[in-house]
Structure 1
Amino acid sequence: MYVPPLFAEDRPEVLAALMGAHPLATLVSLGPQGLTANLIPFLHDTNGGILRAHLARANRQLDDLREMQETGRQVLVLFQGAQAYVSPSWYATKAETGKVVPTWNYLAVEIRGVPRVIDDPAWLRAQVGALTDRHEAPQQTPWSVGDAPPPFVAAQLRGIVGVEIPVAHVTGKWKASQNRSLPDRQGVIAGLAAQDNPMAGIVPGA
């Protein structure tokens, strides 16, 4: 990922927060048939630095992941947070010189690591349970995997395969108008706030 120094973000807690808030990431692998990408919800173990997920057993990307595990090649996982189109009309510089163009602000985290394919029912039950608990927590009456009949759960688990990706390299990019003047940034904040876009609270206003 191209990251100019001004947009680089390397604070572990900030990167982990984005991955936690936006867990549906793009898993990119390279195999004999070329590139493959799938959207997969991940759990990030911040203590061990590991991403955990599961794929449908019928997903052919698993062939790539097994081959990459054997050869030690890395997959790419892309998390994306808030994003927004930035209109040049919001810049104070537009009225001063007219020398402005549109751009796009966004937050992204890129993870690289060698995948491990896991076909263990106990591991899968734990992963599915943890993923479910994480996203059911805000519900008024949280559902848990244990609410379903055990034979049904066991049958569902037979249809998936687990994946662990130890984080070998992480890159964060926070493109939030840091390259603009304070008056321009304040204009961007006002423009985004009028659209109720969460990027309004991320662009530095002072």
Structure 2
Amino acid sequence: MYTPPHFVEKDSASLLHLMANNPLATLVQMTSEGLNANLIPMYWYDDGSELGVLRGHVARKNPLWQESDSAILALFRASDEYISPSYFPSKAKDPRVVPTWNYAVVQVKGTLKAIEDADWLLTLLNQMTAQHEAERVEPWQIADAPAEYIQKMLAAIVGIEIAITALDGKFKLSQNQTAENQAGVAANTKSSDLVAFMQR
């Protein structure tokens, strides 16, 4: 991922925050048939290793899990936004400005492992469900569905885990602009995610 020095994000807390709040990752994998991409919710776990692991699951019919031990790339993206030259107060004095695009992305490199363990999967699914249902007045939980139905669904999926070998962030948030122009961008940016990252 091309990242000029002023857009490099090294703060691990910021990277994990972006991933936790935007778990639908694009998984890119080189397969025997060429490049393949899948959108899969992935969740970071501290397994005691240096960078941790990502965990998720895919349909058993999805060939992604059959490429176990393969290198894989996971991309997590927060909001993005077009930046108009009109946001820059400096334009009034110097018209040499052009539009750009602001965004925040985390790139994870790692090695894929398939996990065919019903207990592991059920634990993961309970954790995922609890996280996303937490704000509901009456949160749905897996135990609300008939046990035999859940067993059937579990048989149709496979767990995946990515042992992380590299974790890189690119937060392109007008850091190459003056403080005045950055304030102008922040005042006109609609994405609360991007504004929050800019104001750190």
Query: TM-score range, shorter-chain basis?
Result: over 0.9
Aligned to 2:138: 141
In 2, Cα distance between equivalents of 1:46 and 1:177? 32
In 2, Cα distance between equivalents of 1:89 and 1:171? 31
User: 2:75·2:108 contact (CA, 8 Å) conserved in 1?
Assistant: yes
Query: What amino acid maps onto 1:17 in structure 2?
Result: H
Aligned residues: 197
Matches within 5 A, 1:175-190: 175-190=172-187
Displacement of 1:93: 2.2
In 2, Cα distance between equivalents of 1:33 and 1:91? 47
Q: Name the % identity.
A: 39
Aligned to 1:94: 91
Aligned to 2:198: 203
Deviations 1:58-88 (A, max 9, x none): 112233x32xx1xxx4200000012111001
Aligned to 1:12: 12
Instruction: Give the TM-score normalised by the residue count of structure 2.
Output: 0.93
In 2, Cα distance between equivalents of 1:181 and 1:45? 38
In 2, Cα distance between equivalents of 1:165 and 1:86? 35
Deviations 1:143-176 (A, max 9, x none): 1111111111000000001100111110011111
Aligned to 1:58: 61
Matches within 5 A, 1:99-178: 99-178=96-175
User: 1:93·1:99 contact (CA, 8 Å) conserved in 2?
Assistant: no
In 1, Cα distance between equivalents of 2:180 and 2:163? 42
In 2, Cα distance between equivalents of 1:17 and 1:61? 26
Unaligned runs of 5+ in 2: none
Displacement of 1:201: 3.5
Displacement of 1:203: 2.7
Instruction: Give the TM-score normalised by the residue count of structure 1.
Output: 0.90
In 2, Cα distance between equivalents of 1:44 and 1:36? 22
Query: What amino acid maps onto 1:60 in structure 2?
Result: P
Unaligned runs of 5+ in 1: none
Displacement of 1:47: 4.9
User: 2:25·2:41 contact (CA, 8 Å) conserved in 1?
Assistant: yes
User: 2:10·2:169 contact (CA, 8 Å) conserved in 1?
Assistant: yes
User: 2:78·2:193 contact (CA, 8 Å) conserved in 1?
Assistant: no
Displacement of 1:196: 5.6
Q: CA RMSD in A?
A: 1.5
